[in-house]
Amino acid sequence: MNITGKQFIGGQRLAQSEVTFHSVDAATGNALPYTFFEATKVEVQQAVDAAAAAFSHYRQTGIEERAVFLETIAEELDLLNDDFIQVVMQESGLPEARIRGERQRTSNQMRLFAKVLRRGDFLGARIDTALPERQPLPRPDIRQYRIGLGPVAVFGASNFPLAFSVAGGDTASALAAGCPVVVKAHPGHPATSELAAGVIVRAIRRCNLHEGLFGMLFGNMIGADLVKAPGIKAVAFTGSLQAGRALCELAAQRPEPIPVFAEMSSINPVILLPGALQQRSGLIAAGLAASATLGSGQFCTKPGLVIGFKGEAFDHFCGQLAEAFGEKAPAVMLNRDILKNYDDGIDRLLRLPGVKRLNGGTLLENRAAPAVFLADSSLLCDQSHPLESEVFGPATVLVAVSDRQELMELLPRLHGHLTASLFAEQNELGDCLPLIEALETRVGRIIFNDYPTGVEVCDAMVHGGPYPATSDSRTTSVGSLAIDRFLRPVCYQGYPDDLLPAPLKNANPQGLLRLINGEFTNAAI
């Protein structure tokens, strides 16, 4: 593999710094034979300047040109060979099938946004035609659509080295919106990042686009400089609450504040109604154990809290879940920091009064062992939210409530989370309605009789939720609606048709569905 470890800036590979770091084998903790240069402040600025220069060109590209570009990235992703898969496996410790699946998901995300571009509804075209005779004042012709915000800084996630990283969902949606991207490569998978960045650079060249359209910087210390660079107009981040919150505060303090779309923390509560436990306790225990330990529990949607009703059925279920967890093998984690944090998180849980371990959780040969805990429900009312601090890894906490009333009192006190799941039988649907009403205000996705892991990339997906799940509950980072984060409306008043952008011209040359004088229509004017 040809890995140089240099920055990607305006189509060039540069390395000014003398500070370097190594890529690490997730399974062994040993250095891999790839060296990376820590980007300098000057390089951060250069990458942002190149992106700003590219913006003035790229935002003028047509829908079709952009769609083809995204499809070209998808093609190039699919062309990556087995050596690439090996590098990702080494750096992430994730198994081959997962990497291949994630690569497919990543190229499919690009293709989804190509579809979104061609559908054109992301443009939000709205036209109010002139009413010259209106009294007391005539109405001018006003036409609105949405344009890209400008260069976006993308902070790749550790846990999806492909689908939420260099060429992942944030990059796909920003590029689709017409925004150049500068990625901060996650230090946990720099070689993977370099190879994925190469994919985007090749696609830019094949499509004859501006070389500044994509940049990538290596390093641990560059995040603040990137967010503070005046040319950056939005930030997309997936990672810890602490880091996400710090970036939000930096962005808010800029002379020109910018939005930060940070996906940060979630424990994804699961609620088990009595009928469901009665009917299929074993099945649910097996499903939950599989969901909570999938990918060593390193998913933002891992079910980390399971709430049931006190009694024999729930006691029995706890035993089944503990047993199911016990059958799961300890697994390599993404990196040593994450492994250590998992261990610390388990210690933190065990130190809480009212928490006991039902199974697992000890470190075995540098692998994380799945762990199940039982906690007192009073801890969910504690103002410091001790059970809602995410333990990233294969751990889940069980909580028994006395009755429906206690549950209904608990739910509004929950932090914001990405998802909630509800298990119920057909005859319990009536009981579900008040629970759903309460959960709607706390999460972005409510799942019925299914597990939260497995986030479908589609139009209807919401991968978001109230703080601290994300920094902006009005958005999603997965699915086609993610493009909305990087768009802003602009309107044109009294324009001659010749000067209007294509989506707003009378003839409707792109055949868009537009809101014209209050009605949706594909018609020309």
List active site positions: 263, 300
Count Cα atoms within 13 angstroms, Cβ side, for 148. 28
Residue 437 corresponds to which tokens in the numbers above? 């009403």
Please pick, from the candidates 29, 493, 506, 509, the single residue that binds its own copies as defined by CB under 8 A: 493
Q: Least distance (Å) from its own copies to the CB of residue 429?
A: 6
Please pick, from the candidates 42, 62, 96, 139, the single residue that binds its own copies as defined by CB under 8 A: 139
Q: Least distance (Å) from its own copies to the CB of residue 490?
A: 5
Give every CB contact of residue 133 below 8 A, 6+ residues apart in sequence. none
Q: Which of residues 46-65 bind its own copies (CB under 8 A)?
A: 56, 60
Q: Name residue 488's beta-bridge partners.
A: 147
Q: Does 95 bind its own copies (CB under 8 A)?
A: no
Residue 107 region by backbone torsions, left for phi larger than 0, else alpha for psi between -120 and 50, else beta: alpha
Nearer to its own copies, 143 or 186 (CB): 143
Q: Which of residues 148-167 bind its own copies (CB under 8 A)?
A: 149-150
Q: Does 381 bind its own copies (CB under 8 A)?
A: no
Q: Least distance (Å) from its own copies to the CB of residue 191?
A: 27
Stretch in the footprint of its own copies (CB under 8 A) among 166-174, 184-192, 295-303, 493-501: 493-501
Return the sign of the alpha-carbon dihedral for residues 447, 451, 452, 456.
negative
Please pick, from the candidates 25, 121, 376, 382, the single residue that binds its own copies as defined by CB under 8 A: 121
Please pick, from the candidates 143, 186, 189, 505, the single residue that binds its own copies as defined by CB under 8 A: 143
Comparing CA positions, the residue from 414, 359, 409 lying closest to residue 386 is: 414
**DSSP character string of 324-379:** HHHTSPPB--SSHHHHHHHHHHHHHHHHSTTEEEEEE---BTTBBPPEEEEE-GGG
Please pick, from the candidates 23, 92, 476, 508, the single residue that binds its own copies as defined by CB under 8 A: 476
Q: Does 487 bind its own copies (CB under 8 A)?
A: yes
Q: Least distance (Å) from its own copies to the CB of residue 413?
A: 11
Q: Least distance (Å) from its own copies to the CB of residue 369?
A: 27
Q: Least distance (Å) from its own copies to the CB of residue 420?
A: 10
DSSP conformational letter for 175: H
Please pick, from the candidates 29, 62, 230, 257, the single residue that binds its own copies as defined by CB under 8 A: 257
**DSSP character string of 455-495:** ---STT-----TTTTBS-TT--SSSGGGGGGGEEEEEEES-
| Binding-residue total with its own copies (CB under 8 A) | 79
Q: Does 297 bind its own copies (CB under 8 A)?
A: no
Nearer to its own copies, 338 or 443 (CB): 443
Q: Does 496 bind its own copies (CB under 8 A)?
A: yes
x/- contact string, 454-473, with its own copies (CB under 8 A)?
x-x-xxxxx-x-xxx--xxx
CB-CB contact of 459 with 479 (8 Å): yes
Please pick, from the candidates 19, 79, 224, 252, the single residue that binds its own copies as defined by CB under 8 A: 252
Comparing CA positions, the residue from 342, 465, 464 lying closest to residue 414 is: 465
Instruction: Using DSSP, state whether 520 is helix, strand or coil.
Output: strand
Q: Which of residues 405-444 bind its own copies (CB under 8 A)?
A: 416, 426, 429, 432-433, 436-437, 440-441, 443-444
Residue 79 region by backbone torsions, left for phi larger than 0, else alpha for psi between -120 and 50, else beta: alpha
269 φ/ψ angles, rounded to the nearest 5 degrees: -55, 145
What is each CA distance from 349 to 41, 330, 421, in whole angstroms? 40, 19, 22
Q: Least distance (Å) from its own copies to the CB of residue 463?
A: 9
Q: Does 119 bind its own copies (CB under 8 A)?
A: yes
Q: Does 445 bind its own copies (CB under 8 A)?
A: yes
Nearer to its own copies, 47 or 435 (CB): 435
Q: Does 18 bind its own copies (CB under 8 A)?
A: no
Q: Does 144 bind its own copies (CB under 8 A)?
A: yes
Q: Least distance (Å) from its own copies to the CB of residue 525?
A: 13
Give all strands of the β-sheet with 181-184 in edge-to-edge order. Answer: 12-14, 7-9, 214-217, 181-184, 152-155, 234-238, 260-263
Q: Does 128 bind its own copies (CB under 8 A)?
A: yes
Residue 248 corresponds to which tokens in the numbers above? 């939000």
Comparing CA positions, the residue from 300, 304, 504, 301 lying closest to residue 399 is: 304
Residue 265 corresponds to which tokens in the numbers above? 């923390």
Nearer to its own copies, 16 or 104 (CB): 104
Query: CA 393, CA 390: separation in Å to the nearest integer?
Result: 9
Q: Does 96 bind its own copies (CB under 8 A)?
A: no
Query: CA 503, CA 114: separation in Å to the nearest integer?
Result: 17
Stretch in the footprint of its own copies (CB under 8 A) among 114-122, 277-285, 351-359, 396-404: 114-122
Nearer to its own copies, 376 or 484 (CB): 484
Query: CA 469, CA 359: separation in Å to the nearest integer?
Result: 28
Q: Does 520 bind its own copies (CB under 8 A)?
A: yes
